[in-house]
Amino acid sequence: MSQFKVSALMFDLDGTLLNTAPQIAEAANAMLVELSLPILPYAQIKSYIGEGAQMLIQRCLVGALHHTPDPLVMAKAQTAFFEHYANNLTESLPFDGVQVGLTALKQRDLKLACVTNKPERFTRPLLEASGLDVFFDIVVSGDTLPRKKPDPIQIHHICAEFDVIEMEAMLVGDSATDIAAAHAAGCFIVTVPYGYNQGKAIDESQIDAMIRDLTELPAMLM
């Protein structure tokens, strides 16, 4: 088993800590119904998660096509999605091992942060409803700073707040977006296999380690 010496750990939210896909898909399909558009299969919407709400909504409207929908349609869709998601987001539950793993890490006096591309208006209620908010000294959402993952600005911000150099920090995530952010920032990247990587398997050559769940993480830290 790989061993890492770190002072700070940062955790992605959707697909790493919380199983948010069911509620996101429900809200997205409610949005499509409101716009008189066909609903989408759960697996398809799940594959759109990971690059923020804007990209998710855009993909629900135009699929995997690399063009943007009509701005008026996009605006209506965004309003509808956010309204529906606000009504069900707190139903999302932590993945197996999350509570146990975070508890063990907290007991070791490690600095813990949550870093997500999800807007703050959804991030805070999710963490509070799930009881995970008590574990994190810092929470950085998708709209906390001018840019978000895969840009490294969120990671640099957290390391600066913790007074920790990036080489002594680790990001735990579930997607290529997390991997790219960690590489750009210069921190360790460890992934879980159960998340939302646009329906693709994680490229293990691009990561420092993979864990089955968060309970395996404490044993990897020196």
Superfamily grouping for domain 8-19+92-220: HAD superfamily/HAD-like (3.40.50.1000)
User: 64 pLDDT exceeds 80?
Assistant: no
Summarize pLDDT for 96-136 with one digit per residue, the tens. 999 999 999 999 989 999 999 999 999 999 999 999 999 99
Locus of tokens 């002072």: 7
Known catalytic residue at 213: no
Task: Tell me, yes or no, if the two domains 8-19+92-220 and 21-91 fold the same way.
Answer: no
Pair 211, 190: CB distance under 8 Å: yes
Mean pLDDT, rounded, of the chain = 95
Q: What percent of the chain has pLDDT over 90?
A: 88
Q: Which of these is catalytic: 12, 14, 174, 178?
A: 12
CATH number corresponding to 21-91 = 1.10.150.240
**Where along the chain do its domains lie?**
8-19+92-220, 21-91
pLDDT band at 66 (very low <50, low <70, confident <90, very high): low
Quote the CA–CA distance of 78 and 171 in Å, as a whole number.
Answer: 29
Quote the CA–CA distance of 102 and 93 in Å, as a whole number.
Answer: 15
- State whether the Cα torsion 60-63-67-72 is positive or negative: negative
